[in-house]
Amino acid sequence: MPHDRNYKDPRRLNRQARNLARQRVLAQQTPCGICGKPIDDSIKWPDPMSAEVDEIIPVSRGGSATDLRNLQKTHRCCNQLKSDKSLAWARQASQGKSALKPTAIPFKTSDW
């Protein structure tokens, strides 16, 4: 255990990297990654239509919380809908479709 006062706690660095990545995603002027509708940045959290950062592959499933390719800007309500389910499922659910159940195996193979 280093006694150097400049020693940086890796967990603290991870949190800083995560916050920085989230700020960068929130600063983007992109539509919701789930429902595709615009996000009004003037709406303040915790309004359901406020902006949130979604981890496309949840961290609990091995996704990165700091890789911008795994992060997208979404509505808070859409992010809550998705929870830890797949992006494809959340997109269908946000359109009011229920063709896929979260645990169902698709009948057709998609291109991803």
Q: Residues in the site for Zn ion, rule: CB under 5 A?
A: 32, 34-35, 75, 78
Nearer to Zn ion, 16 or 40 (CB): 40
Nearer to Zn ion, 3 or 44 (CB): 44
CB-based closest residue to Zn ion: 32
Nearer to Zn ion, 17 or 50 (CB): 50
To which residue do tokens 């959340």 refer? 90
Distances from the Cα of 25 to the Cα of 87, 96, 98, 107, angstroms? 17, 26, 29, 34
Nearer to Zn ion, 8 or 84 (CB): 84
Query: Minimum Å distance from CB 40 to Zn ion?
Result: 11
Q: Can the peptide bond before residue 46 be classed as cis, meaning omega within 30 degrees of 0?
A: yes
Query: Minimum Å distance from CB 111 to Zn ion?
Result: 23
Whole-number Å distance between alpha carbons of 35 and 15:
28
Query: Minimum Å distance from CB 79 to Zn ion?
Result: 8
Please name the residue ranges forming H helices in the chain. 10-27, 76-82, 87-94
